[in-house]
Amino acid sequence: MDRKVKIAPSILSADLTNLGDAIRILNDAGADMVHLDVMDGNFVPNITFGPAFARQLKAISKIPFDTHLMINHPMRYAREFIEAGSDWLTFHVESEDNPTQTIKHIRDLGAKVGMAVNPCTPIEDLEPFISELDMVVIMTVNPGFGGQKCMNEHFSKISEVRRLAEKLGQDIEIEVDGGINEHNVAEVVKAGATIFVAGSAVFKGKRGPAGEIAALKAAAGI
Ligand code: DX5
Ligand code: ZN
């Protein structure tokens, strides 16, 4: 199956005093989604953005919002983030809420549903839910912070999920999140990833976000 590969820049690594500008740049720089990293200081040891924040940024965005909930109780906040404009909502299989109920809740609220797995979590934990999902997110860093080194040893999970989805005849998106750059993006695309997140590679590079996005897309062959 021929799938379009998409880039989802994470604004966690943008200049936080100028996030409006970051969104305006992404609007015209060839980004396919805005990746919004939501952390609760509990599921992960860091705190970031809430729904009011998402709503204001979404109001100036021309591209879909891909919200990544790194929080213990996704059921409790799903409605607020979807009403704030999250087109895609991802929660973690390791979070405390019931996965099937959470998936249904997100879908009933009208967003696409993603489930993320941490580096140390096996795909078997996520496997029972694959048929209910629009997207699987393979974490290649321990969630909590941008700018970490990619754990390449988890790339095999991408092809593992692709095989399972194909067995089900399912055209699922597979997103890879953590430490993706010009040097490893081709490998994740080859393994079957259809969306790659890039935070520091987009916002901390010398060529500026538009130049870095172009370079990443060229390296990914898209
Ligand atoms: C990690 C986040 C990622 C990350 C991406 O907790 O979920 O989205 O910040 O940033 P880079 O590309 O710098 O790893
Ligand atoms: Zn993320």
pLDDT tens for each residue of 80-94: 999 999 999 999 999
Which are the catalytic amino acids?
A: 37, 177
Residue 2: its pLDDT value, please? 61
Best mutation site among 197, 203, 212 for ligand 1, i.e. most ligand atoms within 8 A of its Cβ?
Answer: 197
Q: Where are the domains of the chain?
A: 6-220
User: Residue 141: nearest ligand to its CA?
Assistant: 1
Give the CATH number of domain 6-220; options: 3.20.20.70, 3.40.50.261, 3.40.50.720, 3.40.50.80: 3.20.20.70
pLDDT digits (tens, 9 = 90+) for 10-55: 999 999 999 999 999 999 999 999 999 999 999 999 999 999 999 9
Q: Cα–Cα distance between 216 and 30 in angstroms, integer?
A: 11
pLDDT digits (tens, 9 = 90+) for 135-191: 999 999 999 999 999 999 999 999 999 999 999 999 999 999 999 999 999 999 999
User: Residue 147: nearest ligand to its CA?
Assistant: 1
Best mutation site among 39, 148, 203 for ligand 1, i.e. most ligand atoms within 8 A of its Cβ?
Answer: 148
